[in-house]
Amino acid sequence: MILPIVGYGNPILKKKAGEIDSTYPGLQEFIDNMWETMYNASGVGLAAPQVGKSIRLFIIDASPFEDEEEELKDFKKVFINPEILEESGEEWIFNEGCLSFPDLREDVLRKPKIKIRYEDENFETHEEEYEGIAARIIQHEYDHVEGVVLVDRISPLKRRLIRKKLQGIIKGNVNPAYKMKFAERK
Ligand code: NI
């Protein structure tokens, strides 16, 4: 089932999400719905708060970036209760988009390497290191479960420059090719 994606301005996007365990009701069905929702919107990542659930879960399929980094061909994962343990290296710019911000792309600075601990769908714990685009997508989705969104990562000046655009997203004056729920449109 395709779920509506919550737009910028909805308070759930600013809330730190809570951990879950294997007793979380309907988890597998929810994850299946998230995949369907993400692919329908042509996204490479989707976090649970973006579909209205404040839980520490996100999914990533980085395969559209396979031309840039060959190892991303099969990069498809579910991250539950993630914790970024370490970020390192010299910050680099990447032009990020977000399904909660239709028609917006912004250059964001982040460190290139991360170490992350998370649980998979079977609640087995993994500790892994990533770099480049994989790390970048994880950092973006991780922000969502921490209550941080794309525009929190840009300068106040840039934010002011796109203020009208952001107001448009809050009010639902945008036309994404996927189903959304806007903060101020009933
Ligand atoms: Ni996003």
Catalytic (active site) residue 184: no
Fold classification of 5-174 is Peptide Deformylase (3.90.45)
Residue 88 in contact with residue 78, Cβ under 8 Å? no
pLDDT tens for residues 120-151? 999 999 999 999 999 999 999 999 999 999 99
Q: What is the whole-number distance in angstroms between the Cα of residue 137 and the centre of ligand 1?
A: 9
Residue position matching structure tokens 């399904």:
99
Residue ranges of domains in the chain? 5-174
Residue 13 has a CB neighbour count (10 Å cut-off) of: 25
Q: What is the pTM of this model?
A: 0.97
Mean pLDDT score, 59-87: 94
List Cα–Cα distances, 2 to 17, 30, 80, 96, 178, in angstroms.
Answer: 21, 10, 20, 23, 9
pLDDT tens for residues 11-39? 999 999 999 999 999 999 999 999 999 99
Mean pLDDT score across all residues of the chain: 96
Task: State the sign of the Cα–Cα–Cα–Cα dihedral 16, 2, 182, 43.
Answer: positive
| pLDDT value of residue 4 | 98
User: Which one is catalytic: 87, 141, 146, 184?
Assistant: 141
| pLDDT value of residue 186 | 64
